[in-house]
Structure 1
Amino acid sequence: MEPIHGRHKTSMFAHEDVIGNMPDNVITNILDRLPIHDAVRTGILARNWRFKWTMLSQLVFDDYFFKYLRRANDENDHVRVISRILFQLRGAVTKFALYVDGELDVEDEDIIHWISFLSTKGIKDVTLVYAGEEPFKLPTHFFSCLELKHLTLINCYFNPLPTFHGFPNLLSLVVRLDLRENTRVGEVITRCPLLEILKLDSLGKVKLAEIAKLENLKILSLSLSDLDIHSSRPIIELLGSLPKLQQLELDFENCKLIEGVANKRFSLAFPCLTTLRLSRTCLDDGIHLSCALNLIRSSPNLQTLQISASNCDTASCPRVDENTMGLLDDNTTGLLHLQSVLFEYLDGSENELCLIKYLLDSSLVLKRFVMYCNMFHFITPDQMLKFASKLLKLRPASPVVDIDLS
């Protein structure tokens, strides 16, 4: 039996040596792919792995992490645990995500302390979701994180010092906050020359002219509810100044467009735009319909179109003018290169039918056309049959392969 035990011990120690002698970059790679609490527990793998978790470079304190803490501890010691983990890290911290909901006993001073530490660790990716009643005011030293590449802020307040010159390496910025206050987001935006992704839940005091300076922008998501068309360039002109734009998302909720601007025909073209999403747009409003139509027609390489309709008071909506009707009636077979179209919350209005007919007539390479009806409005079977029959009349060489009239 002794030889067997000997071989067993040799094999066990050899296995421990393999785990324990991994290169640091390999260990860090492994740890970063684990939930934080599992990464900390890797100390049981081998004797010299006891503090390997301090090589973590990516930290995600999300709901999954906090649920684990609640199961493991009766006391609300989230701050102590996060601080203990954070301040024992040895190397650079490239990613930090913190989701603070209303149930967590986390003070603003705690977050400020953590951000102060991260500002010295070469942080590149920050996500901060703050569920407090008042927005979290980012500390001034946050704006010294010049290596930042990705930044997502939910309910966080911008207030950089006058000496702030921007984030020179920032590639993506997502901000969800009531921007009607002077949060200086526009100032930050203009000082991020490499920005490729910008998502704003509200424009507020951010001017379209400031966004127009982002020549590298590829993805843009905007809410137009606060758009002041009198003091800012129209949205079409904004897009004309973004030569690399590939994906555009516009939310038209409570957006009031001026007839003279929305209904004119545009000569600008957006050759790089391949995906267009228009949400909460009132197609019964002739001005909204005209704006949507001009966006579609101005994008010759558009492949994916998603439109989410919104209910509005049809009695007060402007009618479709002659210019828009002319665009819808043009013989434009083959004008568009759409492959996928999704309509949501349709109620079968005449404007919707006209737009759908135009899209079907103009898109010879269409592969998928999906329509979801508004569950609060009754649509007759005849209207559904009209939709279906028009879809089925497309050329066999470019058939619609997915039809959903639910």
Structure 2
Amino acid sequence: MPIKGRRRCRSLPPDILSNLPDNIIDVILICLPCKEAVRTSILSKKWRYRWCRLTELTIDQSHWSTEEDLVDPTVKFSKIVYQLLTLHKGPITKFTLDITGLRSCPEIDFFIYFLSMNGIQHLVFHLPWNEDEAYKLSSLFTCSQLRHLTLENCFIHPPSSFQGFDKLITLELCNVTISFELLGSLISRCSLLEKLVLEISGVPISYIIEINASKLKSFDFSGCISYISLTNVPLLTKVSLNLYEGSSMEAQNLYFVKFFESCFALEHLHVHFCFEQFECAKPDEAPTRLPFDHSRVKRFYVRDILLEDIYDTLCCFSLIRSFSYLEYLELKLFTEDDDGTAEFLELERFSDVTFNHLREVKLEDFHGRAPQMQFVKLLFAKSPVLVRVTIDSYSRPKRRSKILAKVSKFWHLSPKVEVIYRDLWSGNVFEVEVE
């Protein structure tokens, strides 16, 4: 601290911390990590055990890690959490436990039961990964006031008497072991559920997830799955699908069509499809569009499309064609050579398509090869209201100059298009107006 600052601190009354209003002290404690909040007990009588009334607690490895750990971390964890909870007074509305660094999960059901008796509304558990047997959370379903629930690396099995979390708004499950029948039942019994995040690994592709959630607005799925059945999602506006290799929701598959047909309120879509399992691999047999238009999709993100895989590329375009009111498009397009793909993006093949509402496009990992340049030319020629194209690239300066020179000469349907080239190597940004 500068000398002037130290002098100013010395001139303050010695009891200034004790004279702070209670609400200011509470705000300070909320902003501190739990470990530091506990240490404030030494400041003054007014601060002593003030932390015990905190409504939010976060416990992680920082509470027991030292430079010389001579005691088993699990033993430390149990003692620390027990002391924190037994000293605490009043409700605990949010509790976060991150112990992924432990080798095994200690018994925590007592803590869950304690939290359920103290009005827990937001519960976050990141538990250690155990490849032999996931930790079973037995007391979880006693937390009837839950509004937000996040679980990682555990096993859950709702009892037959369980009627659901009738106040739950957000549910996030990452590597949680539960049968798909019980998962569907759990989701359907959370009548107020608005946000659902599922990350599932190592699942046989024959499984189907059924989602019946009339209030659901956001759905994020990562994993390997045969089909996701959306039976009742009238308010679902945001969907993110990251389908691992082995999933069978192919674009030519009826399941794929049914999925989008069920999301008639969809506005934001982020997809990462693995097309390697396609039985039909001939480009001429790729679908040109969905059998219906999605008039409400405004923003579309597609990740990791390899332009050399013509069938995959055309499947991606079948979605773009079907979103007739698309306003924002973001693509990460890979290309390894200049042969084979560009001809499938010729303007003649898209004579029946116009992107009447497309205003902004972002292209990642852009190197200016023929298929990528042809794609930009296609967008320019088919987008009457396009105003901005952002290109993220790692290309060298000479390559960058060639890309911008070519793009600036493309014919465009829109009166004026701005091209923003972001050089990810240097961090420099270059702007070109194409008129």
- TM-score norm. by structure 1 comes to 0.75
- Match of 1:214, as an amino acid? V
SS at match of 1:399: strand
1:78-109 deviation digits (Å, cap 9, x = unpaired): 3321222133222222222222234x36x434
1:87 is aligned to: 86
Contact 1:154 1:177 in 2 (8 A): yes
2:22 is aligned to: 22
2:4 is aligned to: none
- TM-score norm. by structure 2 comes to 0.70
- Match of 1:366, as an amino acid? V
Deviation, structure 1 residue 55 = 1.1
CA distance change for structure 1 residues 124 and 293 in 2, over 3 Å: closer, same or farther?
A: farther
1:142-157 alignment runs, 5 A limit? 142-157=140-155
CA distance change for structure 1 residues 86 and 179 in 2, over 3 Å: closer, same or farther?
A: closer
CA separation in 2, counterparts of 1:22 and 1:305? 50
CA distance change for structure 1 residues 394 and 173 in 2, over 3 Å: closer, same or farther?
A: farther
SS at match of 1:400: strand
- Match of 1:163, as an amino acid? S
Query: Residue 381 of structure 2 is aligned with which of 358, 361, 383?
Result: 361
SS at match of 2:418: coil
2:41 is aligned to: 43
1:152-185 deviation digits (Å, cap 9, x = unpaired): 3333333222333333333333333287975843
Structure 2: gaps (5+ residues): 1-9, 210-226, 426-435
2:319 is aligned to: 295
1:31 is aligned to: 29
1:300-322 deviation digits (Å, cap 9, x = unpaired): 4444433234679999x9x8998
2:430 is aligned to: none
Contact 2:155 2:177 in 1 (8 A): no
Contact 1:304 1:340 in 2 (8 A): yes
CA distance change for structure 1 residues 206 and 396 in 2, over 3 Å: closer, same or farther?
A: same
Q: How many residue pairs get matched?
A: 383
Deviation, structure 1 residue 35 = 0.7
CA separation in 2, counterparts of 1:110 and 1:178? 17
Structure 1: gaps (5+ residues): 1-7
1:277-308 deviation digits (Å, cap 9, x = unpaired): 22233333333223322322333444443323
CA separation in 2, counterparts of 1:397 and 1:380? 24
1:222-266 deviation digits (Å, cap 9, x = unpaired): 222343349x85334323323443432222246534649961522
Deviation, structure 1 residue 394 = 7.6
More contact order relative to length (CA 8 Å, sep ≥ 6): 1
Deviation, structure 1 residue 54 = 0.9
Contact 2:392 2:421 in 1 (8 A): no
2:185 is aligned to: 187
1:98 is aligned to: 97
1:339-365 deviation digits (Å, cap 9, x = unpaired): 241323768363x44433333333433
SS at match of 2:81: helix
Query: Residue 157 of structure 2 is aligned with which of 156, 159, 165?
Result: 159
1:169 is aligned to: 167
Query: Residue 408 of structure 2 is aligned with which of 375, 378, 389?
Result: 389
Question: Alignment RMSD, CA only?
Answer: 4.3
CA separation in 1, counterparts of 2:348 and 2:109? 55
SS at match of 2:235: coil
- Match of 2:31, as an amino acid? R
2:240 is aligned to: 221
Taking every aligned residue pair, what percent have the same amino acid on both sides?
Answer: 24
Query: Residue 70 of structure 1 is aligned with which of 62, 66, 71?
Result: 66
Q: Does 1:265 align with 2:289?
A: yes
1:130 is aligned to: 127
SS at match of 1:114: helix
Deviation, structure 1 residue 40 = 0.9
Q: Does 1:249 align with 2:270?
A: yes
Deviation, structure 1 residue 335 = 1.8
Contact 2:327 2:358 in 1 (8 A): yes
Query: Residue 277 of structure 1 is aligned with which of 301, 322, 325?
Result: 301
CA separation in 2, counterparts of 1:285 and 1:142? 47
CA separation in 1, counterparts of 2:144 and 2:54? 21
Q: Which moved more, 1:328-337 or 1:159-168?
A: 328-337
